[in-house]
Amino acid sequence: MSKFNLNDIHSKKNLIVIIGPTAVGKTAISIEIAKSLNTEIISADSRQFYKELKIGTAAPTKEELQTVKHHFIGTLAITDYYSAYKYQEEVKELLSTLFHHHKHIVLTGGSGLYIDAVCNGIDEIPDPDQGIRQDVISIFETQGIEALRQRLKLVDPEYYNKVDLANPKRLIRALEICMQTGQTYSSLRKKQNKHRDFNIIKIGLTREREELYERINERVDAMIVNGMMEEVEKMYPYKNLNALNSVGYKELFDYLDGTLSLDEAINKIKVNTRRYAKKQLTWFGKDKEIRWFHPEEKDKIIEYICSTEK
């Protein structure tokens, strides 16, 4: 075990950020770390915020939630509007309270944008004018998704190279903000490096690709067994909401629409989840502040946290 004393007094509070791809094992190790540090957990999984989405988001179980206090799990309704900026502001307010009682707080999840918002800051992006939004939607409806892509490539090539080009909602959002503000969406998203009065320690979790993909496949099968189909059926009336444009839900919506068989939908969930995990690793791989560990290296992670405290 670490030679460092977890009870040492340090001048600065510490936010322990535990990140990694889906199914790598963030929940289990975050709970273990939080127990060791006698602290609480803030979720940075943007789909676990919604109380209706439990199975398909692999939200912590009742038992896990009772083991360590969690925040931002099941706090929103599926119809609620939410944003990375709002999350940033709410987490900052929560941290100001939690740090009165704890030297360390654990922030964990796989939503890179939300994690960046807390660590680096993000400016508020205005709600779009409804007329502008309708103009952009009309382009999509009359000219198709390729027209959105080409316009975005022209006005904001940086975001074009990052965004999921198969997701029309993301493309529409970026274009309407560019049109309304006269600025690139990417520049509004990254006015960062704002002062934080706490130390940030970033822990990345990783596994060998074959091991991770096997865990993904097993998780998808377990979700189906544990009742994900019933969860998706309840959400079907809301399937066009952005919160449900997520791997697992959209494939099973296709099954309910009759465009895929159940076996095809399940296989597609596995494929798309693996692709999503690869995107997450690419996103996190750009951050040189992250120190990477296997999820079973709890003692090494604790030692690293103690060695980097300020």
SS3 state of residue 206 = coil
On the question of pLDDT at 51 being above 50, the answer is yes
Q: What pLDDT does residue 70 have?
A: 98
Answer whether 118's CB lies under 8 Å from 197's CB.
Answer: no
With the C-alpha atoms ordered 107, 112, 116, 118, is the resulting torsion angle positive or negative?
negative
How confident is the model at residue 7, as a pLDDT?
Answer: 44
Tell me what the pLDDT averaged over the chain comes to: 90
- The pTM of this model reads 0.81
- Residue 6, pLDDT score: 47
pLDDT, mean of residues 47-71: 96
249 sits in which H/E element: helix 249-257
Q: Which is it for strands 291-293 and 41-43: parallel, antiparallel or unpaired?
A: unpaired
- pLDDT at position 186: 84
Give the amino acid at 24.
Answer: V
Q: Which domains does the chain have, with CATH numbers?
A: 14-122+192-308 (3.40.50.300), 130-189 (1.10.20.140)
DSSP string covering 125-136, please? PPPPPHHHHHHH
- The pLDDT assigned to 125 comes to 75
Mean of the pLDDT values across residues 179-194? 75
The percent of residues above 70 in pLDDT, for the chain, comes to: 94
At 110-136, the pLDDT tens digits run 998 899 889 988 777 777 677 788 888
- Compute and round to an integer the Cα radius of gyration of the chain: 20
**pLDDT of 171 higher than 50:** yes
Instruction: Tell me what the mean pLDDT of segment 98-117 comes to.
Output: 94
205 with 18: CB under 8 angstroms? Answer: yes
Residue 78 has pLDDT above 80, yes or no: yes
Contact (Cβ atoms closer than 8 angstroms) between residue 77 and residue 51: yes
Q: Which residues pair with 248 in a beta bridge?
A: none
DSSP of 257-290, one letter per residue? HTSS-HHHHHHHHHHHHHHHHHHHHHHHHT-TT-
